[in-house]
């Protein structure tokens, strides 16, 4: 009964044509998005390499061109460094607390492997 109704109302050829048209319409978007992600990733890796390799020279250059006194420039660099460190360590601390609380909640609920599930 249901099989006959499906055969009468659903045309597989028309469905395949619609699916192929949809995929063909989305192909340029997917390809351009993939190329963009690959290009941006390559640029990010090259930039990161040079920042990590030449960070002392870059910092010296920025300190020389900054319209601040030497003391002010060094204070600025120290404050930015402290802010970055505080942000990284704060994020790690929050993630650790969340992991413990989620693992504890999963343990209370009786789910298997709460320490693994809390990690995700």
Shared domain for 4 and 44, answered yes or no, is yes
Query: What's the pLDDT tens digit per position in 99-110?
Result: 888 888 888 888
Query: What's the pLDDT tens digit per position in 108-119?
Result: 888 877 667 665
The answer to whether the pTM exceeds 0.85 is no
Domain hosting 103: range is 72-120
Q: How many structural domains is the chain composed of?
A: 2
Whether 8 is covered by a domain: the verdict is yes
Shared domain for 42 and 81, answered yes or no, is no
- For 33-43, give one letter per residue: b (16+ CB within 10 A) or e: eeeeeeeeeee
């Amino acid at each position: 009964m249901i099989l006959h109704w499906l055969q009468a109302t659903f045309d597989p050829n028309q469905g395949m044509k619609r699916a192929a048209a949809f995929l063909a319409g989305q192909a340029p978007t997917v390809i351009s998005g993939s190329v963009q992600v690959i290009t941006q990733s390559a640029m990010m890796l090259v930039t990161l390499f040079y920042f990590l390799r030449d960070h002392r020279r870059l910092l010296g250059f920025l300190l020389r061109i900054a319209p601040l006194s030497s003391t002010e420039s060094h204070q600025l660099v120290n404050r930015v460094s402290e802010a970055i460190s505080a942000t990284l360590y704060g994020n790690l601390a929050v993630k650790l607390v969340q992991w413990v609380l989620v693992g504890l909640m999963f343990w209370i609920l009786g789910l298997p492997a709460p320490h693994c599930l809390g990690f995700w």
